Amino acid sequence: MSAIFLLSKDQSVWKMLHEVALGKDCCNYQLVCLETFEALAEQLRCHEVILIVLDAASLPDDPELLCRRVRALPRAAQAALLCLVNGGAHAVAQALDAGADDCLRRTALNSRELAARLRALLRRQQHKANAAPLVIYTHERSIQLHGRLIELTPTEFNLLEVLSRNPGEYLTVAELLERVWDSPSGDPALVRNHMRNLRRKLESDPERPRLLVSAHGRGYALSVDAQRR
């Protein structure tokens, strides 16, 4: 069963989301409520998350930075992200620019609008799920993303294919050099340059990647499960 995650320290938001989750549009999803970013990262290993409600207003972290940290988690990169913030239009714009798909102001939060926003995001996610986002044709050495064939160089294909073997798992630059170039002591710029080229071809916004994610000191990961044919 797919899960809806709530990251919040406010029990009133927990209660509101529990009430919303009992509705017919959300009852098929498991609701997981958490209080810390570390707990969120840990639970992502155990659940297939479809939507994250990030109550940044209740947490001590900077909201913009928190959005970016959540988006950098491989298993969260494809989930819809609804952010709750304090402040006005500027705070909403910051959250959206940091990776949120939708944003609500905490001061105007009510269960009816929250339920409607969740339904809209879940419909969008379901539409995306009905089509396999990434298909890798191993014999033809070609790929298809959202039904569109994309041409890759041999090295780009090898790099993507290696990452697709363990989606959500970070591989360091040295590991990628060894597996793709058979040279663990090779030039790290090889990985960076080919990853940049891959993102230009696969990401709707290469500056804010959702498929090919990275984390400082950990390396690169593919955030979605790829169909291999």
pLDDT, average across residues 32-58: 92
- The CATH number of the structural domain formed by 134-228 is 1.10.10.10
Tell me where in the chain the CATH 1.10.10.10 domain(s) lie: 134-228
> In terms of pLDDT, which residue wins out, 142 or 155?
155
**Residue 131 pLDDT exceeds 60:** no
**Residue 126 pLDDT exceeds 90:** no
- Alpha helix ranges (H) inside 34-130: 37-43, 63-71, 89-97, 111-129
Q: How confident is the model at residue 129 (pLDDT cuts 50, 70, 90)?
A: low
Tell me where in the chain the CATH 3.40.50.2300 domain(s) lie: 3-129
- The CATH number of the structural domain formed by 3-129 is 3.40.50.2300
Q: Mean pLDDT in the chain?
A: 89
Q: How confident is the model at residue 24 (pLDDT cuts 50, 70, 90)?
A: low
**Residue 130 pLDDT exceeds 80:** no
What is the reported pLDDT for 132? 55
State how far the Cα of 64 lies from the Cα of 56, in Å rounded to an integer: 9
| pTM, 2 dp | 0.66
Q: What share of the chain is helix, strand, coil (3-state, %, to 5)?
A: 45, 20, 35
For the chain, state the CA radius of gyration.
19
**Residue 82 pLDDT exceeds 90:** yes
State how far the Cα of 208 lies from the Cα of 216, in Å rounded to an integer: 15
Vertex 82 angle, CA 78 and 85, to 5°: 140
